[in-house]
Amino acid sequence: MIVRMYLFTYYLTIFITLIVLSVATIAVHPDSVKYLTDKFLKENGILYSKVEGSLLTGATLYDVSYLDAFSAKRVEIDYSFVMLFNSTPVIKKIKADGVLLNIDKLPKRQESDYEFFVFAFSVSKLQLTNISIILDDERFVFNLNASKIDYDKRLNVKKLFVELFTPYADAIIDAKIDSNILYAKTLLTPEESVAKKYFEFLQGVPKIISVDVEATLQKVFMSTHLNHLSFTADQNVNLSNADINLTYFINENYFSFESSYFFSHEKLEAEVKQKGLFNSLGAYSSDLSADLTKYPSQLPFDNFSAELAGDADSLIGSIKTEQLKLDIKSNDYKEFLVHVNSEALALSSISQLPEMLQKNTLSINADAVVAISPFSLVGEFSTKGLFCSLDGSVELDNSTQLVVAQMNPKLESEIFKKYPMDKFSPLKFVYYNEDEKTVLNLGAKMLDVTLFKRGSALNGFGNLGSESFKVKGDISDKNITLNANIQSLNAMLSEFDLINSDDDVLLDAQAKIEAIVSFSKNVQIKGRLHMPWLSAKVDTKTTYRAENLYLEATMIDSEITIDKYSLDFMNHMIYSQKKSKISFDENKTLELKEFWIYDNLLVTGFFNPMNIKGDLRIKSDMFKYEGKEANVSIRADVKASFDGNGTQRIEGNVTLLEGVITYEPPAEYTISDDIIIIQDIKPRTKYKHFVNIHLNSIKPISYKTKSVDLLFVPDIVIWQEPPSSLGLLGLVTIEEGKVTSSDKLFTFDKSELYFNGAKPINPYLNLNMHYQTLDYIDIEIFITNTLASPVVIFKSTPYLSQNDIMSYILFGESASSTFDSSSGSKTSVSSILLATGVKQIFNDTSGLNIDTLNVLTNEEGTFGYEIGARFNEKIRAIYKNDTISSIILQYTLSRSIRFDIDVNEVGQGVRILYIKDFK
């Protein structure tokens, strides 16, 4: 039994050994591999040139090919024969080189009802080199290295590195696969031609784009970050800090995306979020929301949203703000219907508008049809606001543009009540452009403007009322010249009802204007103004006139610089070569930063001419004035304030430093009884004037005319408080001087004029004059009392009678030598002649308007005088000093009746005189 068991074991061992040796011999023999490859590959159409290796360690095939769809120079598979029999077969290495796979030529896969089963496996290393895939006649080349590849219902790859080269971009992929999920970091380098084609409109696109990829069998998620992008057409448009996420849903075959970025353009900045969907069939939808972090103050909103949806044939979308909505629609992507609507678009954000306009709201309704190729736009619009409405139409194409509109102001609105808007309503607007030829016309009842532009040259003309103007310029230089010639400013303003018949002053002027408007950075206006004449008519008798006003000025925004000006005002030249600067605000308040008169008198402050409100200061350390009436140096510091309610205050100091005054009062004139003047007396404008100006001098000032040469020192206060008129307080001292009249020389001793504030101005006189005869008789003339009622006293050395004194003054010799005094009638004649001569001398030299001076003699032979002055056509006053002093007030009622009111030391009386002319 034991022997049998031994023999069985012995022969079984030998058999197994022979079997193992046979299998091993077959496994390591090259022909066995060739047999199997022929059996399983060639019979299925897979060809190769040779095979190396064994079934025990692996095999290498050369020049492998399958139809025209697949070829490989070398395919190598290394494994351990024993490990193939594990529950999870293990392959040490798979290596392929020079593989070409033409997917377009692969046999079409037949649909089957059974699932393709993939058994579990493990590959320690996978290396693919120079692999080419052809898809749609385009070649994709890649190199792949992977390690620790495991599959058991789920695929895991510990490390995957791919270098991909395509016609569109090159990529380096560093990835891993965990439970069928691919996690990859990709560096994408677009081809130069692709970048130029698809990204040419952008600047700042990096040459290498980093993309993170997460892919499953259901979807592929990709994300990237871009630091900064700008548009080539407008580099002021910038996108920064952009995060872009793209998801592809494999089974559903569509994409979704989400993005956020920071948008900026000059004064506009926004944080934008956008998301959407699209698929390969062309269907899409997108939502966008933007929060403005920086924007012009004029923009009436700080956020907006947009929605867009469509497919390959149509789209519909809208852009919304709180106050505005834009809708767009198309059925063919060739024509688009656009509708804009706003029920209440507020203008409060536009601070440049006047305060009243900022309260305005607009309703907007516009419709347009936009065609893409060839481009055209045809539309209509209508807007309505609190103050006006605007309706019009627009037609645009590639070569022409036409806009026709009409504005209708609401004349009852508060904003238009101060202006003659009925003269400009309705205002029609026509704009037409074709091949760089442009015509613009603005037309209304009293306005017509037509502009022509050819290339960059601009020309035009227009009428404002009855006045005309011309326009010329060059758009490329951004300069436009405006020329206007206004024959009568008053007539033009009257056409627009801007002249009030109740105005106290009637202004008129002729003006020639040349202005150059520049649109470089800020709007700049540089102009020249010439007024050949301008006048201000105060009443029927009084008109102030100026001639040849020349002014050159520049205005930038609200700043005005007056380069120089000159003006002849009633034969007084007023000018300045020094630059003056003025600005104005939205309330039309003028700020005089520095306004110069004669280059040395500075005016500063602010003033609003609309409500007569402001504060001005006039100051000069040495203001030199040269003219026909004076050549003086003055130091001045005067302040003027206007409170807008009719109260005006003027106060300060004026000091005469030195100089000569040559002013001569105008000649008096009388009106014939045959002339009747009818004048409308208008009530005075009720202003409250407060005046307090101190006028003095630091040394005597010279006053010189043909007949007068004086040195005087003023120290007076010009004073006024409502409701009284202007008054003077102080003293004017005549240091010395001389007066020449009728070839006679009168010299002044120190004299004074005292001003006590009387209304009307009536100073007290203390005038001391000398007249020396040819035979050296010194005659002293004293004038005292007041200017309205002077007292004249004569004195001589040696002593002479009053008749002789006046005779010497008039005729150079005594009265006895000139007249025979034996006859009373002759004495009266001599007295009349003396009085007439003395009156003329006084009027010529002293400035006292005496129309009557009679020398009186009484029965005792003593001497007296009578002085009279006429105040107007009806009233005259006479002071009489004979035996007693008396005052006679004469009132002429008509040509035939006169009243004389006599007041003297012992009583008073009234006389009625009837005067009759006998022919």
pLDDT tens, 274-286? 999 988 788 899 9
Q: How confident is residue 349, by pLDDT bands cut at 50, 70 and 90?
A: low
pLDDT score, position 550: 92
Q: What distance in Å separates the CA atoms of residue 401 and residue 440, rounded to the nearest whole number?
A: 11
pLDDT tens, 394-450? 999 888 999 999 988 888 877 777 777 788 888 899 999 988 789 999 998 888 999
Least confident segment among 337-341, 444-448, 828-832, 905-909:
828-832
- First and final C-alpha spacing in the chain: 207
| 125-154 average pLDDT score | 88
pLDDT tens, 554-596? 888 778 899 999 988 877 788 889 899 998 876 778 888 999 8
pLDDT tens, 9-35? 444 444 444 444 444 444 455 565 666
Q: At 44, phi and psi to the nearest 5?
A: -105, 15
User: For residue 320, what are its two tokens?
Assistant: 């919304």
Q: How confident is residue 829, by pLDDT bands cut at 50, 70 and 90?
A: very low
Q: In the predicted model, is pLDDT for residue 1 greater than 60?
A: no
pLDDT score, position 354: 63
Q: In the predicted model, is pLDDT for residue 692 greater than 70?
A: yes
Closest CA to 636 of 680, 578, 694: 694
Q: In the predicted model, is pLDDT for residue 264 greater than 80?
A: yes
Q: What distance in Å separates the CA atoms of residue 187 and residue 483, rounded to the nearest whole number?
A: 66
Task: Report the b/e string of 155-168 with b at 16+ CB within 10 A.
Answer: bbbeebebebebee
pLDDT score, position 17: 41
pLDDT tens, 851-904? 555 544 444 444 455 556 666 666 776 656 555 666 676 767 666 677 777 766
Q: How confident is residue 262, by pLDDT bands cut at 50, 70 and 90?
A: very high
pLDDT score, position 113: 45
Q: How confident is residue 5, by pLDDT bands cut at 50, 70 and 90?
A: very low
Q: In the predicted model, is pLDDT for residue 544 greater than 50?
A: yes
Q: How confident is residue 842, by pLDDT bands cut at 50, 70 and 90?
A: low
Closest CA to 98 of 142, 68, 66: 142
pLDDT score, position 63: 86
Cβ count within 10 A of residue 492: 19
The count of residues in the chain is: 919
Concatenating the DSSP letter of every residue in 147-162 gives EEEEESSSEEEEEEEE
The rounded mean pLDDT for the chain is: 79
| 832-842 average pLDDT score | 49
| 147-154 average pLDDT score | 88
Q: How confident is residue 259, by pLDDT bands cut at 50, 70 and 90?
A: very high
Q: Specify which residues 615 forms β-bridges with.
A: 606, 641
Q: In the predicted model, is pLDDT for residue 332 greater than 80?
A: yes
Gyration radius (Cα) of the chain, Å: 56
Cβ atoms of residues 489 and 507 within 8 Å: yes
pLDDT score, position 382: 92
724, containing H or E segment: none
Q: In the predicted model, is pLDDT for residue 244 greater than 80?
A: yes
Least confident segment among 325-334, 615-624, 850-859, 868-877:
850-859
User: By percentage, how much of the chain surpasses pLDDT 90?
Assistant: 23
Least confident segment among 81-90, 572-581, 670-679:
670-679
pLDDT score, position 671: 35
Least confident segment among 252-261, 536-545, 903-912:
903-912
- Most confident range (mean pLDDT) of 94-103, 254-263, 359-368 is 254-263
pLDDT score, position 285: 93
pLDDT score, position 495: 80
Question: Which residues lie closer than 8 Å to 446 by C-beta, 6 or more apart?
Answer: 420, 423, 424, 464, 465, 495, 496
Least confident segment among 80-94, 228-242, 556-570, 627-641:
80-94
pLDDT score, position 810: 67
Q: How confident is residue 186, by pLDDT bands cut at 50, 70 and 90?
A: very high
Is the model more confident about 503 or about 608?
Answer: 608
pLDDT tens, 32-79? 566 666 666 676 777 888 888 777 777 888 888 888 888 889 888 887
Is the model more confident about 802 or about 393?
Answer: 393
Tell how far CA 293 is from the center of its chain: 24
